[in-house]
Structure 1
Amino acid sequence: MKNRPLTIMIQGTHSDAGKSVITTALCRIFAQDGYKTAPFKSQNMALNSYITLDGKEIGRAQGVQAEAAKTTATTDMNPILIKPSRDMEAQVVFHGKPYATMKATQYREEFFQLGVQAIHDSLQKLKEEYEVIVIEGAGSPAEINLTDKELVNMRVASIANAPVILVGDIDKGGVFASLVGTLQLLGPHDRSRVIGVIINKFRGDISLLQPGLDWFEEYTGVSVLGVIPYLEGLEIDGEDSLVLQKYGNDHKDQAAIDIAVIAYPRISNFTDVDPLRLEPDCRVRFVRKASELGNPDFIILPGTKNTAEDLLFLRESGLFEKIKTAYHNGTCLAGICGGFQMLGEKIMDPSQIESPYTIMEGFGLFPMVTEMTEMKKTVRVKGFCRMKGFENLLLSGYEIHMGRTQLNRNHQPFSILSGEMEGCTNQEGTLFGTYLHDVFHNDEFRGAYLNKIRKKKGLEPIERSLRFRDLKEREFDRLAEHVRRSIKMDLILEKMKEFSV
């Protein structure tokens, strides 16, 4: 008879307490220990997404957690993805495909029962295939105004019959108050699921913290399962814009190559530029104001959840003209996904699918027009580059976008992906646009393009570029080791087995 799968759920006292990172660490730890492991997050709200092998869209955090668990990501690991598109409005992605654009109250009233059933169904499928399921919550389980119809915290723990670890972030201050307050706001049944707490992001001498730990256990009757020291420089994909604060804070002011990434309000899939941040002679800055642009060597227009409204932001902020002037003065310029659409002549949305603006003028740097359509393209692709000087460099990644782009027949494609011409570039290679996310994760292309910029600046080329995917694997193992030695894994596993009986 097959043993029942083991489950554990990570919840937090608030957003950005470290739930995603600890879930990722546990996925790698259980995989290292020989368990067939899967992550699960019932409902994720994020603009950073991930494309599964069958072309479905889930939260990027769950895709990364699946990689940490050494398994293949599926939509059952994140059946509901909410992608904010405008104030008080979001696109609901259900099992990897767009379901509807809804306001918050509409979502709570109309989607709740469907969401509950999806959680039951996905968890059942995962339990049939995996030995361990590591579940991540969202926000706080003590948001009492939302508990009647929440789909991501204690209701999920009950459906999965999972023990819960509560995570508090000591780096923000008030960790004991937030942990105690959260526990006190939980009902008796929910509180009984909490097997312990983890204090995250600790800096300093743990002996000075010990009196507080002793007091906490005596006052609450809940075990402290570990204190995790702050881990510097962890390079694992972030879930949403909360992690943008780390960008531009790399103390590389004197770096040879200055890269400006435009951080418009609805920026998405900004992890496209992560490999550039890790190149030793590159400084990546996220630019929000025209006064911050300066004179960079390379400007990147990243993805966006609302191309027209972020294009309007560029115009109103003064960044539009600054970017265009910088390009004409010799700065290299690239657009990815929505950023690529902006580089054309027009964005047309006659049915107002994405915004109330039916026509928006673009940069006019490519001979193309993009029309927004109901259909959303989500697919993994591979092929090769066609840009002059980079011909036949292998490329792989994923596409995820709404809109159909029509290019003039005389354009120079950026690449051939899955047998089709894709993107656009100028003859000099100083301007390119592509729908290919993860374009800079391709080591050979990234290294060659940076060498083009180095040559332009009179710098020596670097022959061997960073191997980004190898680095990511090392980071998973570094994180797992760091967390493993900081928490009581034996006790956690024992409690998981008790709940599985």
Structure 2
Amino acid sequence: MLQGTGSDVGKSFLTAGLCRALVRRGLAVAPFKPQNMSNNAAVVAMGSTEGGPETGGAPGDSAQGDSETFQGEIGRAQWLQAVAARMEPTVHMNPVLLKPQSDRTSQIIVQGRRFDAATAKGYQQRKETLMPFVLDSFATVGKDMDIVLVEGAGSPAEVNLRARDIANMGFARATDTPVILVGDIDRGGVIAAIAGTRTVLDRADAAMIRGFIINRFRGDVSLFDDGITTIREHTGWPCFGVVPWLDAAADLPAEDAVILERGGKTDRDAGCVIAVPMLSRIANFDDLDPLRAEPHADVVFVPPGRPLPRADLILLPGTKSTVADLAFLRAQGWDIDIHAHVRRGGHVLGVCGGYQMLGRHVHDPDGVDGSAGGAEGLGLLDVETVMAPAKTVRTSGGIWHGHGHDGGGSGAQVTGYEIHMGRTEGPGLARPMLSLDGAAHGAVSADGRIMGCYLHGLFTGDRFRAAFLKRLNAEAGIGDFRAHVDSALDTAAAGLEKHLDIDGLLAVAGL
């Protein structure tokens, strides 16, 4: 199990890279994360199990399908780790997923299904009731595997949360899983972070840690030899390696929104500029990864407090709370920027929550999205959305209609997944953006420049991405995005083989 001295120390990347490294060694390996907090979710299969202990499944929405057809949600990081392990991802690889929907509450997904919503305090009080589901999923994932690579969440040093913990030492102790602690030297203070973690842990928890890894080192590694010695003296733990910044990390989907603050391309030679407002509850921003990888597209994530720049396309991403983020968007003045962009002849695409925002109104009579009520939309598409408790969770595929002056791109194949609450209707649906599984989907304005749909992941389709970029007067430079990601995983694995004592890590795991 990889635990960290804090969030965003690189646990997800290291787990994915190690999954691929061990697969390349001929081992059957599966990823697992007991509890994750992320609004970047993937839709995956149920997996082979009879359901949660004694209940036949998580006590949430059961209308989404039976055990043979059910599709549910996991964190995108675990989806990527399954790809790295060359396994079909299932809901059991991330049995508890928390999706923040306000500053105080999160939606709780258990074994793929929507379970409930709770405040942070409320979740802490009920968390231990979820451990049976975590253990059930862990047993399911581990069946017939040589090794399971487990990713922790946050830090075990958060001892104030230890009593009901299911994500770090609570899980490690319950399953007798040995732990490797990961520290990020790039953020500074890594010696204190690792030694401090040892200091605050009780004796039994500290005994689960068998060593540490230093991640994101820049420069001459030998300069940190004395640092490794100091950590050993304070903790008694061996070092399993010092991992430098690996370029492959930039080519893999990121789970934490902190990556969005690192800006777009610096050469400014891209064929088109795509502006993405950083909504307060932005979700599934990995939809943009294929575009970020394109050499001729500059994806600019615009933080709060800044106007939207001149761009060829404004892309409104998904959000965990459409009504709240409509208010946030207006507070930034971005609605004015978007309408000015449209008057200049610019293109706009809304995905999921962004699609709902483009309509005339979002109604929420039951407070499904937050407080009961609703909000006026941007009015760029002639549709309206009504929020409802039923949640759509499914994979889909079809074609792009390619509405536009030249009709370019019509018939390009798209595949992806839907995760949304609410139903969108109105006259605008007469000009659908897509056909999914044989049915019309989404909406397009009369001039073809404004469009919206619920399909996440549509830019992974190479033909669609190329046709869409051509509409923006840019050429696609990546022929096969999935192969691009797979190559990055192989590169990451090779880097970890070079810089980590993987034989030592396998010995810790009993192999």
Q: Take 1:147 and 1:246, find their aligned partners in 2: how far apart are those partners?
A: 33
1:215 deviation in Å? 3.0
Task: Tell me by how many angstroms 1:195 deviates.
Answer: 1.2
SS at match of 1:436: coil
- Check whether the contact 1:308–1:357 (CA below 8 A) recurs between aligned residues: no
Q: Distance in 2 between matches of 1:166 and 1:288?
A: 32
Q: CA deviation at 1:481?
A: 0.7
Question: What is the alpha-carbon distance in structure 2 between the residues aligned to residue 430 and residue 363 of structure 1?
Answer: 15
Q: How does 1:182-261 map to 2 (within 5 A)?
A: 182-232=197-247, 234=249, 235-248=251-264, 250-261=265-276
Q: Which residue of 2 aligns with 1:137?
A: 152
1:94 aligns with 2:110: yes
TM-score normalised by length of structure 2: 0.91
Mapping of 1:414-453 within 5 angstroms? 414-453=433-472
Residue of 381, 401, 411 corresponding to 2:420 = 401
> Which residue of 461, 476, 485 maps to 2:489?
476
Q: Distance in 1 between matches of 2:188 and 2:305?
A: 34
Name the aligned partner's letter for residue 460 of structure 2.
Answer: H
Question: 2:38, 2:256 within 8 Å by CA — same for their partners in 1?
Answer: yes
Q: Are 2:294 and 2:477, in contact at CA under 8 Å, matched by a contact in 1? A: no
Does 1:265 find its partner at 2:280?
yes
1:462 corresponds to 2:481: no
Paired amino acid for 1:277: R
Between 188-197 and 467-476, the greater mean CA deviation after superposition: 188-197
Q: Is the 8 A contact 2:16 2:81 kept in 1?
A: yes
Alpha-carbon deviation of 1:291? 4.1
- Amino acid of the structure 2 residue aligned with 1:81: L
Residue number in structure 1 paired with 2:388: 373
How far apart are residue 357 of structure 1 and its match?
Answer: 4.7
> How far apart are 1:116 and its partner, in Å?
1.0
- Whether the 8 Å CA contact 2:127–2:164 is kept in 1: the answer is no
Gaps of 5+ in 2: 46-69
1:380–1:398 contact (8 Å) kept in structure 2? yes
Q: Which stretch shows the higher mean deviation, 483-492 or 403-412?
A: 403-412
Output the TM-score relative to the length of structure 1: 0.93
**Offset of 1:462 from its aligned partner?**
3.3
Q: What is aligned with 1:344? A: 359
Q: Please report the RMSD computed on the Cα atoms of aligned residues, expressed in angstroms.
A: 1.6
| Residue equivalent to 1:10 | 2
Unaligned runs of 5+ in 1: 1-8, 455-460
Q: Which runs of 4+ in 1 moved over 4 A?
A: none
Q: 1:327 aligns with which of 333, 342, 355?
A: 342
1:176 CA drift (Å): 0.8
Q: What letter is aligned with 2:80?
A: V
Change (3 A) 1:415 1:495: same
Q: Is the 8 A contact 2:8 2:256 kept in 1?
A: no
Cα displacement (A) at 1:62: 0.6
**2:3–2:181 contact (8 Å) kept in structure 1:** yes
1:462-485 per-position Cα deviation (integer Å, ceiling 9, x unaligned): 376442111000010011111111
Partner of 2:60: none
Distance 1:294 1:101 in 2: 36
For 1:330 and 1:301, the matched residues in 2 are separated by 17
The worse-fitting range, judged by mean Cα deviation, of 50-59 and 66-75 is 50-59
Judge which range, 462-471 or 228-237, deviates more.
462-471
SS at match of 2:101: strand
For the residues of structure 2 that align with 1:281 and 1:320, how far apart are their CA atoms?
Answer: 27
Distance 2:331 2:230 in 1: 54
The letter of the residue matching 2:357 is M
CA distance in 1: counterparts of 2:478 and 2:132, whole angstroms: 47
Secondary structure at the aligned position of 1:56 is classed as: strand
Letter in 2 for 1:171: D
Which one of the candidate residues 87, 93, 102 is aligned to 1:71?
A: 87
3-state SS of 1:355 partner: coil
Q: Is the 8 A contact 2:366 2:373 kept in 1?
A: yes
